[in-house]
Homo-oligomer: A and B are copies of this chain.
Amino acid sequence: MSNEKMVKSITSMEEDFAKWYTDVVLKAELVDYSSVRGCLIIRPYGYAIWENIQKLLNERFVETGHENVYMPLFIPESLLQKEKDHVEGFAPEVAWVTHGGNEKLEERMCVRPTSETLFCEHYANIVHSYRDLPKLYNQWCSVVRWEKTTRPFLRSREFLWQEGHTIHATAEEAKAETIQMLDVYADFVEQCLAIPVIKGQKTEKERFAGAEATYTIEALMHDGKALQSGTSHYFGDGFARAFGIQYADKDNQLTYPHQTSWGVSTRLIGAIIMAHGDDNGLVLPPAIAPKQVVVIPIAAHKAGVTEKATELYERLKKIARASIDLSEQSPGWKFAEYEMKGVPLRVEIGPKDIEQGQCVVVRRDNREKTFVKLDELEEKIPMLLKAVQDGLYQKALARRETMTYQATTMEEMIKTAQEKPGFIKAMWCGSRECEDALKEKAGVSSRCIPFEQEQIADRCVCCGKPAAKMLYWGKAY
């Protein structure tokens, strides 16, 4: 048995994108399958990415005045049923608990698919006066939706997420919160995950169960499919009425408050993989990479190499999430391994480099090599990390621009959807009929009504009636 592990190989993107994706999540050791179909094991490397996402998002939530809480895992059936649209949306896909130990429960409970009903019940208990408002709460937890088909991170029966739930005195405040949190998401996904997004509103058909308005950030994946990456909902006072939440305003009048909810999930890890990955594996943006730099000694058996590599590692630790690989594997094996894991920078150092007082830094995103003088390490590494972060964003943006098309007729729509993976911009009259027809005939769903509107035609791409709005359409995960 050789001491050298096999270099891992994966299916190429071109050949089979779905298979490439599964290969990456497994070979980069992000997840493992469990015996519970559709539920994942998130391994240390995958969970470390989630922890970085949590940390950066949570800072933004705290800055905008939000507080974390924890609600029960279970929702009694009667509570789930209190808001009509909400229960219709979720009841068909929840997991039901019917027994506690050996006893049958008097009322069955579902495992939370989302927690609006629990927050509403709590708000009814603690909100009495205008002085109690707003409440700006967030929860980090797992939720369960009993999906028929599942894919790691993108659609699983259990997934990790955060769900913000806020309650406000006025509709204006609640609306402002809804948009603020969409902006927080967009900013985070663009700045930290290096993925450009389209901000917009969902159509009524795609709206969250029980919401008056749903806003979304939509990202484009490598294969031209859209990924809904975060949503923010405005509820008006619908839930407050259903749950009897009222407060005494300044004139002591009982009034219904207005609510929002918003969430992102481990789906974002799927977005990172499919927005930046390549045929060598994962490519991680430095902002959320568990390891930003890995030091690999070359010809480590030669005198002084391991010592020098360790010295570099000790220096790098102070300015980045650095690691070092002193194992007996060959440099070639290590290069492949850390490429698979998407580590943004690799620092190579061998006898010749030491002689010349330098090291070799290789970027994961474009394999660009830079010789860095050892005394400039602390200056150059952060610059290179920033270059990778910016480079990933620019590359993803350019790809999205190239893969965004327009259609003004149904013929064009069908042809583009068939031949050109990507977003399609097209005008829409506003009717559900046309939205359904586009799904049926062109296989595309409405992604969003973008905030940045363009008048690309006067008439609906489907029915030819006067158009109300320009929408993004596409195939989606």
Measured CB to CB, the residues of A under 8 A from B are 1, 32, 34-36, 39-44, 47-48, 50-51, 67-76, 79, 91-102, 109, 111, 118, 121-122, 125-126, 137, 141-142, 144, 146, 157-158, 160, 252
Measured between alpha carbons, how far is A1 from B130 in the docked complex, in Å?
Answer: 13
Chain B nearest CB from A134 CB (Å) reads 13
A-B contacts, 26 listed (Cβ < 8 Å):
A32-B122, A32-B125, A34-B121, A36-B72, A36-B76, A39-B74, A41-B70, A41-B72, A42-B69, A44-B137, A48-B67, A50-B70, A72-B158, A73-B142, A73-B144, A73-B158, A74-B95, A93-B100, A93-B101, A94-B100, A95-B100, A96-B97, A96-B99, A96-B100, A100-B146, A100-B157
Q: Using Cβ atoms and an 8 Å threshold, which residues of chain B touch A96?
A: 97-100
Q: How far is the CB of A285 from chain B (nearest CB, A)?
A: 20
When A32-B126, A73-B142, A111-B111 are in contact, do A68 and B44 touch as well, CB less than 8 Å?
yes
Assuming A72-B158, A92-B101, A101-B93, is B48 touching A122 (CB within 8 A)?
no
The 6 closest A-B pairs by CB, nearest first: A39-B72, A100-B146, A44-B67, A42-B70, A96-B99, A36-B72
Question: Do B36 and A101 have beta carbons less than 8 Å apart?
Answer: no
* Copies in the assembly, this chain: 2
The CA-CA distance from A89 to B296 in the complex, in Å, is 48
User: What's the dominant secondary structure at chain A's contact region?
Assistant: mixed
Question: What separation, in Å, do the CA atoms of A179 and B68 have in the docked complex?
Answer: 33
CA distance in complex: A332, B121 (Å): 32
Besides A36-B74, A51-B68, A97-B97, 4 other A-B contacts (C-beta < 8 A): A34-B72, A36-B76, A94-B100, A95-B100
Query: Do residues A98 and B98 form an inter-chain contact, with CB atoms below 8 A?
Result: yes
CA distance A157 to B29 in the complex (A): 33
For A91, list chain B residues within 8 Å (CB): 101
Nearest residue in B to A119 (C-beta to C-beta)?
A: B41
Instruction: Determine the chain B residues whose CB is within 8 A of the CB of A126 once the complex forms.
Output: 32
